[in-house]
Chains A and B, each alone.
Chain A
Amino acid sequence: MSTTAERRAADQRQKLEKAGLDFVDDRFGSSRWLQSAMDKIFPDHWSFMVGEIAMYSLIVLIITGIYLALFYVPSGAEVVYHGSYKPLDGQTMSEAYQSVINLSFHVRAGLVMRQVHHWAAIVFLAAVCFHLCRIFFSGAFRRPREINWTIGLLLLIIVMLEGFSGYSLPDDLLSGTGLRVVYSIVESIPVIGGWVAYDLWGGAFPGTTLIPRLFVVHEFLFPLVIVGLLTAHLAILWRQKHTDFPAPGKTETNIVGSRLWPQYAIKSGALFMMVIAVLCLLAGFFQVNPIWIYGPYTPYNVSAGSQPDWYVGWLDGALRIMPHWEFRSFGVEIPNPFFPGILIPGVLFGIMFAWPFIDRKIYNDEGPHNLLNYPRDRPFRTAVGVAALVFFSDLTMASGTDLIGNNLHISYERLIDILQYGAIIGPIVGGIIAYKVCVALQRTSAHPIQKPIGGVIVRGADGSYHTLGDTDHGGDHDGAATNGHGAEDEHLDGEGDGAGNGHGRPAEEETVGAGGTSGASAHSAGSSPPTDD
């Protein structure tokens, strides 16, 4: 109950709000846009939040990154360290490395900022990959969202490179080894490889100009591209509105969820806080990238068990399991790293870029879609996705062969053999299994809207056969009505047993197609017939 005082306070508040909005509208004519923005609906499915988790990780990266950039010295010039970390005292290192050591040991809150930044990058890429899988398996890339899919893939690639360039900035032994490998991959490009490597590094490896250039790339060039692409990504999403999983009440032309203002904005803000909380938890309690243990980079030192950060692991693994082919004749050469480093990733990413169009051809489905697929409803696409995941997992495992071998006492020769075969057989087997699981799930589980496959035939007490849905046989119409079924409802439900038991007369029932769906009655109550896609 509101009192007069409360009413007056509410009046005052609304006068102020109107005054503020009028101020803006006088200048921008923005009221209509603001109204539609605040009224905008965002579906609430949990998997739609993972893209936001990625975005908020990016914001944390940018904020902590600016802080780190104020302490980092982008210089490859050699200095001698004389700080408090004794095991490096008196050693020669690059200024860049020294600045990161100083930040870790001599700057208050420096280490936690550094670790938040690094953990945020790890979680960011994990969220991006999860988000990519969600988009793929639910078919959200279909028309009209193909361009957003392309933008997303570009973001994935740039973000991987951004992470790689970021952890290479401290010029420590581990990341420097990674740079050496990337130099070789660039070098291996036919015809132009040597020139491109020379141009990027300013000469032969390691050179002295890479660190300052990497700084420009990591702080300036890539972030511009990422923010630009992300803005486009979000603007398209805003314009086209979010997709949603099919359910009773949801159609191609409506959208169900929370209002942007205040509901979704506050919930999204809460998610932002949670992302920061988890990243700070990791940063406080789990050490990451202890460069003081790795030591400064020199080209003749290397550590056993060198791996890149997890999201580049697939590339390192590809290099390990590639057979030693090299093309050499007439004085020219296509070196070995080209195949796993450029060619195979190029082909794979090419397929991913083209996927919306491949998918369209496979399913003969040109129409626009706002409702998603459940993965089980597109078994072939799901199988391809699972095969790709198995492939990338095989490659990522391959980047840790020496670690796995050391811990499980298996020789790396055997491991690499297994992973080589696994890279071919694994995806095929994984895809087939995924396909079969999807089809089985389609047939046997209580899918909310999926119609049974094939007709459903039931045998009556008098021995006659009929198809379910016939209203003139054994019909307990009230029972059917209280279960919420209309005449058009083809879901399996036992007839004559008004208790809602979904199996009718089990001894005489022959069903073809989907199994018992006694739970389906609760789902099918709805105001509009569900559309299936």
Chain B
Amino acid sequence: MSMHLAPVRRFLRSLVAGRRRLLAGPLAVVGVAVVAGSFLFGLGGTSSATQPKVSTNKATITAGENLYNAHCSSCHGIDGVGGRGPSLIFAGAAASDFYLQTGRMPLNDPNDEPLRHHRWFSQHQIVAINSYIAALPKINRVKGSGPGIPEILPLCPASESHNNSQIAAQQAKGTAKCVTLSFGQHTFALDCAQCHQIAGSGGMLSKGFVIPTLQNASLDELGEAMRIGPMPMPKFGTGQLNHVQLSAVARYVKYLQQPAHPGGLRISGFGPVAEGFVGIILGLGLLVLVARLMGTRG
């Protein structure tokens, strides 16, 4: 990677000390804008599952088993039968991937609510553990399987807007091959907003359980969470949210992470409470300051 550094170095030096130094400022702005813009306009284009997250390879499964025994079996038991923590036999790769990617597991105390944390394992290790968990029913010689990692359908391209009613009908029937933000919003409002808040900022359940914000969730994590129902969240099987609905919700939540906000700063998306703070402290505060400057202080 060190091949073309010299000319780059010369260029950078010229920006600082040479005839191009006047360019440094505007270039920096452009650079930041390009980087920021690529983030802003990058939504909808990413696809899920760029690399396989589960493997049936024996070596991978064995590696996963070793990791599991070292870090998980103390609560979840050998072969995932359970113990202080719940049984993982039918947890499925979706659960494994979700809990490990979001750093919810390993958990220090089984009584704590598992919340987003930094990731403990590397991607390779997670793939290994996923594969092991997916293989648990076979290892325990029982029928059935846990939920696999759902593949999220893409957003319908804008050019197909003339097919709107056709796409809408397909989505309602569950046969669509792409999803729209509108269908996602509609489904999200009914099934998710009462807990996660209409803008995805989170909320509060009984008994002190925090409902997390959706601001940081990846597409995969969204799909997995819906299918596994990580306690205390309810589980949404295919009978409640078919694959099209699930994909639409996931795509819409990604939109909510960077929603249109033509009106200005979002003030955290919490709603009227935050707006009231700004209005009183900034709005009335500025005006009272003006009054103090204009009036007397007898």
Determine whether A and B are in direct contact in the complex, meaning some CB atoms lie less than 8 angstroms apart: yes
Residues of A near any B CB (own CB < 8 A): 44-50, 53, 82, 85-91, 104-105, 111, 115, 119, 122-123, 126-127, 130, 173-174, 244-245, 247, 267, 270-271, 274-275, 278-279, 281-290, 292-295, 298, 300-311, 313, 399-403, 405-406, 409-414
Q: Which of B55-63, B117-125, B233-241, B282-290 contacts A (4 or more CB under 8 A)?
A: B282-290
Q: Chain B 154-196 against A: per-residue CB contact (8 Å), 1 yes, 0 no?
A: 0000100000110010000000000011111110011001111
B298 to chain A minimum Cβ distance, whole angstroms, is: 5
Q: Which of B132-140, B141-149, B207-215, B222-230 contacts A (4 or more CB under 8 A)?
A: B207-215
A135 to chain B minimum Cβ distance, whole angstroms, is: 15
**Among candidates A174, A298, A401, residue contacting B204 with C-beta atoms closer than 8 Å:** A401
B198, B208, B265, B266 — which one has the most chain A CB atoms within 10 A of its CB? B198
| Interface residue B50 (Cβ < 8 Å from any Cβ of A) | no
B291 in contact with A50 (CB, 8 Å): yes
B168, B210, B284 — which one has the most chain A CB atoms within 10 A of its CB? B284
Query: Chain B, interface size: which category?
Result: 35 or more
Once the chains are docked, how many angstroms separate the CA of A292 from the CA of B198? 10
Do A274 and B264 form a contact, CB below 8 Å, given A87-B185, A91-B182? no
A278 to chain B minimum Cβ distance, whole angstroms, is: 5
Give the 3 A-B CB pairs with smallest separation, nearest first.
A310-B276, A304-B203, A411-B208
A86 in contact with B294 (CB, 8 Å): no
| Interface residue B51 (Cβ < 8 Å from any Cβ of A) | no
Do A127 and B287 form a contact, CB below 8 Å, given A44-B296, A303-B193, A309-B275? yes
A86 in contact with B271 (CB, 8 Å): no
Enumerate 25 A-B pairs (CB-CB under 8 Å) in ascending A order.
A49-B291, A49-B294, A85-B260, A86-B180, A91-B182, A104-B263, A122-B283, A174-B198, A271-B290, A283-B264, A286-B282, A287-B264, A293-B256, A293-B269, A294-B198, A295-B185, A298-B189, A301-B189, A302-B194, A305-B270, A307-B271, A309-B272, A310-B272, A313-B272, A399-B273
Once the chains are docked, how many angstroms separate the CA of A274 from the CA of B292? 13
A88 surroundings in chain B (CB, below 8 A): 182, 185
A304 surroundings in chain B (CB, below 8 A): 193-198, 202-204, 211
Do A308 and B272 form a contact, CB below 8 Å, given A287-B261, A301-B190, A405-B204? yes
A91 in contact with B283 (CB, 8 Å): no
Residues of B near any A CB (own CB < 8 A): 158, 164-165, 168, 180-186, 189-190, 193-199, 201-204, 206-208, 210-211, 252, 255-256, 259-267, 269-273, 275-280, 282-284, 286-288, 290-292, 294-298
A45 in contact with B202 (CB, 8 Å): no
A89 in contact with B210 (CB, 8 Å): no
B198 in contact with A295 (CB, 8 Å): yes
A46, A47, A295, A411 — which one has the most chain B CB atoms within 10 A of its CB? A46
Residue of B nearest to A300 (CB): B190
B255 surroundings in chain A (CB, below 8 A): 87
**Among candidates A86, A270, A303, A311, residue contacting B197 with C-beta atoms closer than 8 Å:** A303
B155 to chain A minimum Cβ distance, whole angstroms, is: 9
A122 in contact with B193 (CB, 8 Å): no
B194 surroundings in chain A (CB, below 8 A): 301-304
B206 to chain A minimum Cβ distance, whole angstroms, is: 7
A282 in contact with B267 (CB, 8 Å): no
A50 surroundings in chain B (CB, below 8 A): 287-288, 291
B278 surroundings in chain A (CB, below 8 A): 282, 286
Apart from A53-B284, A123-B287, A281-B286: 4 A-B pairs, beta carbons within 8 A: A267-B294, A283-B264, A286-B282, A287-B266
**Among candidates A46, A281, A287, residue contacting B291 with C-beta atoms closer than 8 Å:** A46
A53 in contact with B270 (CB, 8 Å): no
A50, A86, A279, A295 — which one has the most chain B CB atoms within 10 A of its CB? A86
B260, B276, B277, B280 — which one has the most chain A CB atoms within 10 A of its CB? B276
A275 surroundings in chain B (CB, below 8 A): 287
B273 in contact with A46 (CB, 8 Å): no
Do A303 and B198 form a contact, CB below 8 Å, given A245-B298, A267-B294, A413-B206? yes
A48 in contact with B203 (CB, 8 Å): no
B269 surroundings in chain A (CB, below 8 A): 293
**Among candidates A48, A122, A293, residue contacting B279 with C-beta atoms closer than 8 Å:** A122
Once the chains are docked, how many angstroms separate the CA of A310 from the CA of B270? 13
**Among candidates B183, B204, B266, B296, residue contacting A406 with C-beta atoms closer than 8 Å:** B204
Residue of A nearest to B269 (CB): A293
